[in-house]
């Protein structure tokens, strides 16, 4: 099954990586999360929209990065969380990493971080550039390309240095809190908060194309799964 899911809860900004397989999954539970996660391709992937409970046959654990600074291990069968460590950073966005042991995360600021869930560290990769503050990230694994937005502009980000290159202003001048990369169409997918609608974003130009209304009052992140 392929699809795009989203989160409307305000508690956590997260990226999630299933520790047993290095794949990524999301489960919206009683202990819910703000900023959804990218679900990597698995044979039994499942996505949810809104405050729902997902109970798949496998993938019981994932990692999350919270707006309170904590990096968590989450049991998806119960919703219980275990703090792995506290980075002391207010996370605003997160996405896939280049390997199974880490993922990218950003505060609302000028620095890109790598979260290592084996070493339990948050390491600054580098600065985006003068006057650039990212709030949301999306990663194209096949091209090893990281994208970021400050909610109104689209950037590409060097995964080794964090240097950001301006791609374009998001065409409708909106407020894009939620974004992820969809490899099946080779475009970014995003939700704009003012219109509460979903858009495709051309990753080469930043041009947006209307997809449809979400029917939700607010969606703070989305993720792709197949």
Taking only the tens place, the pLDDT of each residue in 185-196 is 888 988 887 888
Predicted structure pTM score: 0.73
Instruction: Give the per-residue pLDDT at 116.
Output: 87
Identify the band that residue 25 occupies on the pLDDT scale cut at 50, 70 and 90.
very low
Q: Which of 102, 74, 107, 101 is nearest to 88 (CA)?
A: 107
Contact call for residues 209 and 200 (beta carbons, < 8 A): yes
**Domain locations in the chain as residue ranges:** 3-225
Strand order in the sheet with 61-65: 61-65, 70-75, 81-86
Instruction: Give the per-residue pLDDT at 33.
Output: 37
3-225, superfamily in CATH?
TolB, C-terminal domain (2.120.10.30)
Identify the band that residue 60 occupies on the pLDDT scale cut at 50, 70 and 90.
very low
- In this predicted structure, the answer to whether residue 216 has a pLDDT above a threshold of 70 is yes
Q: What angle do CA 71, 77, 79 make, to 5 degrees?
A: 45
- In this predicted structure, the answer to whether residue 107 has a pLDDT above a threshold of 70 is yes
User: Which range (22-31, 78-87, 160-169) has the least confidence?
Assistant: 22-31
């Amino acid at each position: 099954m392929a699809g795009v899911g989203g989160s409307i809860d305000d508690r956590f900004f997260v990226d999630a990586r299933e520790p047993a397989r290095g794949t990524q999954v999301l489960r919206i539970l009683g202990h819910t999360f703000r900023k959804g996660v990218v679900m990597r391709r698995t044979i039994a992937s499942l996505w949810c929209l809104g405050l729902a409970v997902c109970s798949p046959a496998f993938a019981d654990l994932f990692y999350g990065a919270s707006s309170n600074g904590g990096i968590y291990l989450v049991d998806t069968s119960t919703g219980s969380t275990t703090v792995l460590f506290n980075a002391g950073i207010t996370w605003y966005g997160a996405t896939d990493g280049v390997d199974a042991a880490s993922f990218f995360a950003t505060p609302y600021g000028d620095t890109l971080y790598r979260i290592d869930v084996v070493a339990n560290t948050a390491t600054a990769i580098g600065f985006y550039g003068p006057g650039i503050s990212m709030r949301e990230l999306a990663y194209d694994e096949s091209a090893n390309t990281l994208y970021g937005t400050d909610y109104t502009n689209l950037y590409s980000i060097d995964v080794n240095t964090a240097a950001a290159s301006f791609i374009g202003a998001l065409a409708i001048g909106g407020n894009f809190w939620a974004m992820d990369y969809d490899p099946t169409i080779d475009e970014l997918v995003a939700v704009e908060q003012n219109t509460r609608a979903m858009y495709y974003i051309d990753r080469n130009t930043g041009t947006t194309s209307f997809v449809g209304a979400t029917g939700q009052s607010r969606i703070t992140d989305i993720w792709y799964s197949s």
